[in-house]
Amino acid sequence: MIEQKVVTPEQLFFEAEREEQFITGSEAIREAIKSANVDMAISYPITPQSESMHLVGDIFAEGYIKEYFRGENEFAVMSSVAGAAMAGVRVFTATGGPGTLRAFEMFPTWSGSRLPIVCAFMTRGINSPLTIQPDTLEMAYMLDTGMLMLHAENGQDLYDMVLKAFVIAEKPDVHVPVGVFADGFFVTHTRDKVNIAPADMKLPSYNPNCAPVPAMDMETVPFRQMRDPFVMKSNFISYAAHASWQQEILAAAERARKYIDSLLGGLIEVENEDADILIIASGTAVSQSREAIQQAKSEGLSVGLVKIKSLRPFPTEQIRRLAAKAKAVIIPEFNRVGWLCREVKTAVDDTTKVVGAPRVFGGMTMPPQLIVDEIRRCANE
Amino acid sequence: MNKSIFKITPCFEDIMPDEYKELVESDPFGKGLGVSQLGTYKELLEEHPLCAGCGLALSLRLILASLPNPEDTVIVGSTGCSALAFPQVALHNIHSVFGNQNAVASGLKRALKLRFPDKVKDVVVIAGDGATADIGLDMVMQSWFRCENITTIMLDNEAYANTGGQESGMSPQGTVLNMAPKGKKFPKISMPEIARESGCAYVAAISPAQPKRLEKMVRRAILTAREVGPSYVQIFSPCPTNYKFKPQEMVARIKQREKEGFFKSKEYITTEAQEYLAGLEEGKKDE
């Protein structure tokens, strides 16, 4: 193993001197995992994720990770990752698009088993017709799995979110899996300036003795207890046990808010919040919105921006408060169904001011001009 | 596992369940007990909710009594009848989802090796025929291809019993079951041969009608998985509820099927495993 100095999360995130590198999103994953003190990583190829797990394999070979292998499909990989997490080690994997759906049964199972797995999702379109192009549709399906969901705008976000996700996931009062989402190709395959902490520093190792459920290692009393909520009897107590377990998963996600605040600087970032027109976006739609806001400014239109970093837990109260002051709320998205628009509509008091546009999908890019058109339309109403 | 972890704190004895107290008083951990000693110690399976005459329940008792290292054994199960008994087993055991047991066990075993490099932690998969030969077959075989150090035990009751008696890949050809209203169209899957060709160092087929032989095979399989490679044991035990025979006829039914040539006890051992087991068994004789 490579010699690295164990530092506190605060030292690694906020105090260590960072070096600027011009790297792709996949390389940002590699850099984050170098400092994450991951015990095991399990990979399976799918475009546009593959490169990130190649690079994780490379740093396994260099001695940054203790164990790494390629599984046989995404469902099996997510199962093996679950087995490893139940044995009490820190694990990492990544997938995207059809891989996410292939593995889907495991995500609520991770949450229900209170496994602090960190998984990166490099989003892509879903068949049919066959596509490998960027699209965030899969995130719609992931919203109710019990996992925490962070959405990266760029390589810097991806680096920071992956690294910080381990710390958030492993807090004893949270201890649920975290998905870090990045828009495939737009983030994974493009180069950007990313500030990186020194690779000779790493997080403290995972402590399975601080988990709300015991590791499956026969080192704690094993009698008549199971890791999973095993409730198959047909009586009210059984139903109530399962119901309260589900509520506890939601409560764990709620308890994550304070850690997202302290480590990521909040669930949202806001610019010019007093503007009449607000854009609410996540992922690379935020970057496109920034461009659009600059163009609108040159036309004399003042537009605010709300970047959502955490989708689960969702910044419901903040969105309600911000939207109440605005005349119109524009939600640009890289998918057909408009899942972020639905989320925002459940949070705001007046849904008529929410504009679910523009939406691009099937691999299309989002020209800022489309967003400017919506801004003009709202300004003229 | 350190046995002191499950001692009862003085003055809490009266609130602990009886079966826990019995386990503390006469546990099987670290004592090298086996099938012959059944009845003289507290078994790892406390009651069970399976049907009367279920051969899976008997097989599970025998498997648990045969574990060479129960104090450091983790079981991975799957959905099915046997999953109903696992909450009653005094070992750490995992139910993840249907069919992924060997993938879970792969991650678990590798992680336990990382955490306990100087200790033997046996990982044993115990799952039904549907979980092993149908829905989970790819992950079962891939774990064998990858040479994972795990033991896979199939409880073969020849049907999806927990869901109400549907045909499985392990049902005999011609059997009329739910979802095979005109009779099963293809023969029972040759899992022992598939296991042998897929990289298992030790493969056995046995039934609970031969408890001592079953014990020997389970022990050999687990010992082989530690050092040589993956191992597979198939335990034949048709379902009385869905094949509609009387609970007390279970063992007789197995023997009848054996006599008719439908079931055969088997053992395939690679040369490497043979040498390894011979060394261990020789060493035991010397003691």
Contact across the interface for A216 and B20, Cβ inside 8 Å = no
Q: Which of A67, A86, A223 sits opposite B94 (nearest CB)?
A: A86
B41: which 2 tokens?
Answer: 């110690």
Whether B65 shows a pLDDT value over 90: the answer reads: yes
Confidence of residue A238 (pLDDT cuts 50, 70, 90): confident
Distance from CA of A150 to the nearest CA of B (A): 25
Whether A229 shows a pLDDT value over 60: the answer reads: no
Task: Please give the share of chain A, as a percent, with pLDDT higher than 90.
Answer: 92
Distance CA B157, CA B167 (A): 11
Distance from CA of B28 to the nearest CA of A (A): 13
Three-class secondary structure assignment of B252-269: HHHHHHHHCCCCCCEEEE
Give ranges for CATH 3.40.50.920 in chain A: 269-380
The domain limits of chain B are 50-286
Per-residue pLDDT averaged across B78-96, rounded? Answer: 90
Contact across the interface for A83 and B104, Cβ inside 8 Å = yes
Task: Please tell me the predicted confidence (pLDDT) of residue B18.
Answer: 84
Given this structure, which CATH class describes domain A5-208?
alpha beta
Contact across the interface for B111 and A75, Cβ inside 8 Å = no
Element (H, E) at A267: none
Per-residue pLDDT averaged across A17-24, rounded? Answer: 98
Interchain CB contacts (distance < 8 Å): A and B: 147
Q: Which residues of A touch B146 (CB under 8 A)?
A: 69
For residue B198, what are the CA distances in angstroms to A234, B139, B142, B171, B174? 41, 12, 8, 22, 28
Q: Which residue has the higher pLDDT, B11 or A231?
A: B11
Task: Please tell me the predicted confidence (pLDDT) of residue B53.
Answer: 92
Distance CA A275, CA A326 (A): 7
Q: Calculate the average pLDDT of chain A.
A: 95
Contact across the interface for B100 and A106, Cβ inside 8 Å = yes
Q: Which residues of B touch A73 (CB under 8 A)?
A: 138
- Model pLDDT for residues A40-81, shown as the tens digit of each residue: 999 999 999 999 999 999 999 999 999 999 999 999 999 999
- Model pLDDT for residues A135-161, shown as the tens digit of each residue: 999 999 999 999 999 999 999 999 999
B135 touches chain A (CB under 8 A): no
Task: Please tell me the predicted confidence (pLDDT) of residue B281.
Answer: 87
Per-residue pLDDT averaged across A250-256, rounded? Answer: 97
- Model pLDDT for residues A290-321, shown as the tens digit of each residue: 999 999 999 999 999 999 999 999 999 999 99
Interface ipTM above 0.90: yes
Q: Which residue has the higher pLDDT, B23 or A13?
A: A13
- Model pLDDT for residues A122-139, shown as the tens digit of each residue: 999 999 899 999 999 999
Task: Please tell me the predicted confidence (pLDDT) of residue B215.
Answer: 98
Task: Please tell me the predicted confidence (pLDDT) of residue A230.
Answer: 54
Q: Which of A71, A216, A221 sits opposite B108 (nearest CB)?
A: A216
Q: With a CB-CB cutoff of 8 Å, which residues 55-74 of chain A face chain B?
A: 66-67, 69, 71-73
Distance from CA of A288 to the nearest CA of B (A): 40
Cis (ω within 30 of 0) for the bond into A48? yes
- Model pLDDT for residues A172-204, shown as the tens digit of each residue: 999 999 999 999 999 999 999 999 999 999 999
Dihedrals phi, psi of A193, to nearest 5 degrees: -80, 125
Pick the CATH number of A269-380 from 3.65.10.10, 3.40.50.920, 3.40.50.720, 1.20.1560.10: 3.40.50.920
Task: Please tell me the predicted confidence (pLDDT) of residue A227.
Answer: 38
Name the closest residue on chain A to residue B72, using Cα atoms.
A218
Task: Please tell me the predicted confidence (pLDDT) of residue A226.
Answer: 46
Whether A105 shows a pLDDT value over 80: the answer reads: yes
* Core vs surface per residue A340-352: b (16+ CB within 10 A) or e: bbebbbebbeeee
| A263 burial via Cβ count (<10 Å: 0-12, 13-18, 19+) | buried
Nearest to B114 by CA among A119, A206, A225: A206
Interface test with B, best of A75, A78, A79 (most B CBs within 10 A): A79
Name the closest residue on chain A to residue B139, using Cα atoms.
A76
Distance from CA of A197 to the nearest CA of B (A): 27
B96 touches chain A (CB under 8 A): yes
CATH number listed for the domain at residues B50-286: 3.40.50.970
- Please, are residues B129 and B169 in contact by the beta-carbon 8 Å criterion? yes
Q: What's the distance, CA B185 to chain centroid?
A: 28
